[in-house]
Amino acid sequence: MNIMGQARLMVNNSPSMLASVFGPFTLSTSNNSEILISNRRAKALLAILCMMPGEPLERDHVSKLLWPGRFEAQARASLRQCLLALGKMFEPYDADVLDVSRTRICLHPDIIQTDLDLLDSALADGRVPEACGLLMEIGGKPILDQLQFGKEFDDWLSIRRDQVELRLRDAVRGALDKLEKQGRTDEQSQLLEAWMLRDPDAGRSAIFRKLDCKIRIAVLPFEQIDSIGGEFYLADGVVDELITSLGKVPELLVTGRTSSSHFRDTEMQLPEIARALHVTHLVEGCVQRQDDVVRINTRLIDGATGFECWAYSYEGSLEDIIASRAQVALTVTAGLCNELEIEAKPRPSRAMTSNREAYSLYLQGRALTARAIGDNVLSKAIELLEQALELDPEFAECWTALAEAHVYTAVYTPCLERLKESERMARCANRAIELAPHQGHARSMLAIHQWTKNDIVGALDLAFEAYRLEPHNPDVAIRLGSFLLYIGKTQEAMPYIKAAIEQDPVHGRNYSMLSVAYLNMGDTEAAIAAGQRMVDLGYPSLWLAAATAVSGNHELAVEQYQQTRLLMNTVIFPPAGSAPMPTEVMEEYWRMAAKGLHSGCPEARRNYCQVLEMLHVTLPDKYDSTIVLPAIWMGDAQMVFKTLGEQITPANFFGLMSVWTDVEPTRQVRLHPDFMAFAEKIGMVAAWHKYGWPDLMPQSDAAGKRPVTMRLVKD
């Protein structure tokens, strides 16, 4: 009996069949006798179902995947024949394998177990010898190898492969961390060695940095010494080029720009910064400009000691720097990689603009966009970026930056034209993609616009494609993770959220996603820790109060929510079209809100729900997040349906992630009889059909109320 058969006996004696999804798909009985499936589409259908256990698939979607190009009626007829063939094939085994209705197909629970299931279980339970045996047997085999049915199937399979690999990396990392805490160092080494058969670069990956301290790097903001003065962001440009260049070296993981910029003008020592960013090395430097001569000094710092281990200087005219800054970055990259003893073969990238003035305007505009908050900050950013594009209309990165500035305008300002800002963003993102098809970040922003059109499938398609193009961009990873969180697939979202935080560890925004994800998974303690981390980084964590309330400490939750006001009213504008409240009125409003949301008092909740009704009637923006998010937390389903059900904007749809917190009263939104109609209207049901059902509704019927029981029928 092979290791997979042994593992199954150790885990569960009930499944009567074992499927292998690594390599070519195979199916065997409990005594390891292979079940031959001669029909390749029948085999593919079974393989697809095994990749999505417990999740019903729409027959229309399956027929399009396996019979592309055929008329709809032909494809459906072919699928019926395929299902009948599978039913006959399983008759001798007395196994009720398939649950089939007129619209959906699903595997019957507990009949087929996969090698992926066994590996997940072994890693979760800490059964190291079993996990190692499975990993050695699986090796580097591609998932569902040798299945080809056209582009749509290839795209589906590519997404599933990425999801599985990311999930496995997260599971292995968790197992390794647990073994380290338990002092099981020998088993820890065995598991890492076995995993490296599948991921040869694991020893160098930041995911496994505790076991092999290679190689994670952060480029700190460079100092600019400028005898001329003026808003010339040359140092920021050098840092930008370096981050881009280093990020294209496969053996390096470069910390995101947001986390790096957090340490501008800090008094922290270099080793402290390295620990905060979880990096092994830092790059720092300065740019000196005197007249038309520019000198760039760059240093590589050992993160543990703070000592310099490599340095490089470049001197030239201002025109030289503008024209050859990418080459300077490549030279620095090569020198750094030589010092770190890794091969510097960065992936090729297109050159940015050669227009000096356009580049300067771009850097200024992007710096203002990163600030986001402040009077006219974003409008000034947009003005500068548009000026840059007038000088160089083919500056793709500037189009992406302009798209981001429009998104931030819709989210962070009292904007009454959020949809128009979203449309402007979409035009800019599309232009960036036309000029530079490799741009993942532009696609992930374009995905936001698809949400406003109730095209969640289109949004997820773009987000997955963006991640394929830029898997190490934390802004891309967090957006994909958040989209999955919004549709209720928290387990699947978590690895992307963690990956974004790992690469951008002091970006407070990301911890809101992490806090909600933990809360949705029932880990209140971890949700509180993530919310507190957000507060520590200077962000208003409404989610800390929400998690504290779920823990049962309502008094503290009310206090935390009221404290949030002190930061919220300094960085967040009042709702669009409304005047700022007098101080005493504002304080009373926050007291009422805090009690309504988190005191646990039914009367306080009812009072605040009435306030939301008033705001919905009186505010110029009836879909403002100040209405949507409290309505979700208080389980005010009708208000949720009246807001998100009528208009999703870039500023309010993030509230959907809290719909999946399975506690009172929040769960009342999901349990409301009209929830499925709402989910259908905003495009969520269509997304479930393609990307799988939410964690809390793994086998839901069309009403979303109870598990489906389906049987094979002839239609």
Q: What is the pLDDT of residues 585-600, one digit of tens each?
A: 777 888 888 899 999 8
Structure tokens of 350? 């297109």
Give residue 54's region: left, alpha or beta (phi > 0; psi -120 to 50): left
pLDDT the model gives residue 711 = 33
- Mean pLDDT for 83-100 is 80
Flag whether pLDDT at 404 surpasses 90.
yes
Flag whether pLDDT at 398 surpasses 80.
yes
Lowest-confidence segment of 244-258, 464-478, 541-555, 618-632 by average pLDDT? 244-258
Please name the helix (run of DSSP H) or strand (run of DSSP E) that holds residue 27, with its range, or none.
strand 26-29
Report yes or no: 395 and 389 within 8 Å, Cβ to Cβ. Answer: yes
Instruction: Give φ, ψ of 198 to 5 degrees.
Output: -95, -35
User: Which residues in the chain are classed under CATH 1.10.10.10?
Assistant: 3-200
What CATH number is given for 354-471 in this structure? 1.25.40.10
Q: Distance between CA 211 and CA 204 in Å, rounded? A: 9
Give the pLDDT band of residue 5 (cuts 50, 70, 90). low
| DSSP tag of 105 | E
Report yes or no: 226 and 236 within 8 Å, Cβ to Cβ. Answer: no
pLDDT over 70 percentage in the chain: 86
Q: Which fold has domain 3-200?
A: Arc Repressor Mutant, subunit A (1.10.10)
Give the pLDDT band of residue 232 (cuts 50, 70, 90). low
pLDDT the model gives residue 703 = 40
Query: If DSSP states are collapsed to H, E and C, what string results for 666-689?
Result: CHHHHHCCCHHHHHHHCCHHHHHH
Distance separating the N- and C-terminal Cα atoms of the chain: 40
Strands 112-114, 17-20: parallel, antiparallel or unpaired by DSSP?
parallel
Nearest residue to 87 via CA among 139, 136, 37 = 37
Give the pLDDT band of residue 553 (cuts 50, 70, 90). very high
The yes/no answer on whether domain 216-349 falls in CATH 3.40.50.10070 is yes
pLDDT the model gives residue 680 = 93
385 vs 160: which has the higher pLDDT:
385
The DSSP line for 561-576 is: HHHHHHHHHHHSPPST
| pLDDT tens, position by position, 557-570 | 998 888 776 554 43
- Whole-angstrom CA distances from 715 to 100, 375, 711 are 10, 63, 12
The C-alpha angle 35, 41, 43, rounded to 5 degrees, equals 25
pLDDT the model gives residue 709 = 32
pLDDT the model gives residue 457 = 92
Mean pLDDT comparison of 15-19, 343-347, 378-382, highest-scoring range? 378-382
Average pLDDT over the chain, rounded to whole?
81
Report yes or no: 243 and 504 within 8 Å, Cβ to Cβ. Answer: no
Give the pLDDT band of residue 678 (cuts 50, 70, 90). very high
pTM of the model: 0.73
- Mean pLDDT for 309-336 is 75
pLDDT the model gives residue 9 = 44
419 vs 372: which has the higher pLDDT:
419
Strand order in the sheet with 98-100: 57-58, 104-107, 98-100
Give the pLDDT band of residue 486 (cuts 50, 70, 90). very high
Flag whether pLDDT at 424 surpasses 50.
yes
Give the pLDDT band of residue 350 (cuts 50, 70, 90). low
pLDDT the model gives residue 37 = 82
User: Which residues in the chain are classed under CATH 3.40.50.10070?
Assistant: 216-349
For the CA atoms of 382, 383, 385, 386, the dihedral, rounded to the nearest 10 degrees, stands at 110
| pLDDT tens, position by position, 127-175 | 888 888 888 888 888 888 888 888 888 888 888 888 888 888 888 888 8
pLDDT the model gives residue 171 = 83
Q: Distance between CA 302 and CA 137 in Å, rounded? A: 39
Burial 477-510 (b: 16+ CB within 10 A, else e): bbbbbbbbbbbbbbebbbbbbbbbbbbbbbbbbb
For 122, residues 6+ apart whose C-beta sits below 8 A from its C-beta are: 7, 11, 128, 130, 131, 134
Report yes or no: 98 and 44 within 8 Å, Cβ to Cβ. Answer: no
Report yes or no: 634 and 643 within 8 Å, Cβ to Cβ. Answer: no
- Mean pLDDT for 244-265 is 80
| DSSP tag of 13 | S
For 449, residues 6+ apart whose C-beta sits below 8 A from its C-beta are: 422, 423, 425, 426, 429, 650
664 vs 179: which has the higher pLDDT:
664
Lowest-confidence segment of 1-10, 51-60, 161-170, 636-645 by average pLDDT? 1-10
577 vs 358: which has the higher pLDDT:
358
Flag whether pLDDT at 47 surpasses 70.
yes
- Burial-class residue 654 by CB neighbours within 10 Å (0-12, 13-18, 19+): buried
User: Which residues in the chain are classed under CATH 1.25.40.10?
Assistant: 354-471
Give the pLDDT band of residue 705 (cuts 50, 70, 90). very low
